[in-house]
Amino acid sequence: AQTVTQSQPEMSVQEAETVTLSCTYDTSESNYYLFWYKQPPSRQMILVIRQEAYKQQNATENRFSVNFQKAAKSFSLKISDSQLGDTAMYFCASEPGTYKYIFGTGTRLKVLA
């Protein structure tokens, strides 16, 4: 079965500091996509970053970067220079070529002033 596991239910970080959110996944597919989505209290899921499994280079988007370890099936998100607006639920998701996303249970991140 395809699964995504986020083992950190809650995390907090001081403003301007760096935080890393963990995610592991399981898939038998050779080509797939991985995502991090942010869900603020407004409820809208916002795409943070996307990684294609066949690309070895880790994706980056401004202050957000990933550490993609394909052999270990690990896909962590690093947020640098954390801002108050980063406070949200963060969901890791995989898309194993079936067009349906498989989400983890989320990590609630709180950025402290």
Partner 1 sequence: ETGVTQSPTHLIKTRGQQVTLRCSSQSGHNTVSWYQQALGQGPQFIFQYYREEENGRGNFPPRFSGLQFPNYSSELNVNALELDDSALYLCASSWSPGSPLHFGNGTRLTVT
Residues in contact with partner 1 by CB under 8 A are 4, 33, 35, 37, 42-47, 50, 91, 93, 95, 97-106
Q: 43 and 109 in contact (C-beta within 8 Å)?
A: no
Nearest approach in angstroms of CB 64 to partner 1 is 15
Q: How far is the CB of 96 from partner 1 (least distance, A)?
A: 11
Q: Nearest approach, Cβ of 9 to partner 1 (angstroms)?
A: 9
Q: Which is nearer to partner 1, 7 or 113 (CB)?
A: 7
Specify the residue, 47 or 84, whose C-beta has the smaller distance to partner 1: 47
**Rounded distance between C-alpha atoms, residue 75 and residue 53, angstroms:** 10
Compare residues 17 and 100 and give the one whose CB is closer to partner 1. Answer: 100
CB atoms under 10 Å from CB of 59, counted, come to 19
User: Three-state SS across 73-90?
Assistant: CEEEEEECCCCHHHCEEE
CA distance 67 to 55: 12
